[in-house]
Amino acid sequence: IISMRALFGEGIGFGIPVDSAKAALPSLLQKKKVPRSYLGLKMAAGAPDRPRGGSGGAVVEMVLPRSPAAEAGLEAEDEIVELDGRKIRQFDEVQAAVRSATVGSALKLKVRRGGQTVHVDVKTADIRRLREGGSGSMDGHRGRASGGGGG
């Protein structure tokens, strides 16, 4: 936990989950950078046109070019409904799975695309790859980004 004592900021604290700290500890003790997995997606909650109480899912709003997600063939408007055989109800379940995956691990996604089910295998990459690719910007076409940056 990092706390801050500043004008208007007294008592504000920041923390990281203990599981994240435990996973990072070996790298930190060796004074190495901590590898973090990413796919290169911006997601939202399940499709807004689906009835309440549906199975949920995570809708892909944007796919970063040259990202693992783009290389695997994920597209804007895809709806991730399963990840490694587990039903996905919210996008934070996808984020948690990616965060806990080691860099270079393969994830199996079941995706709903245009009324059909598609299976996509995607390999996580180190998030530092984003910095190497440049900053990038939105171009406004179907939620895709141009350039190589972003979350």
Claim: this prediction has a pTM higher than 0.95: no
Mean pLDDT in residue range 69-92: 95
Residues in the chain: 151
Q: Give the pLDDT score at 98.
A: 93
CA distance readout (Å), 41 to 61, 87, 98, 140:
7, 18, 11, 15
Per DSSP, what are the bridge partners of residue 58? 45, 80
pLDDT tier at 51 (50, 70, 90 boundaries)?
very low
Which residues face 106 on adjacent strands? 123
Residue 150 pLDDT exceeds 50: no
Picking from 31, 149, 42, the residue whose alpha carbon sits closest to that of residue 94 is: 42
Give the containing element (helix H, strand E) for 86. strand 86-87
* Residue owning tokens 């500043």: 6
147 neighbors 137 (Cβ within 8 angstroms): yes
Which tens digit of pLDDT belongs to each residue from 112-126? 999 899 999 999 999
Percent over 90 (pLDDT), the chain: 45
| Residue 66 reports pLDDT greater than 70 | yes
Per-residue pLDDT at 139 exceeds 70: no
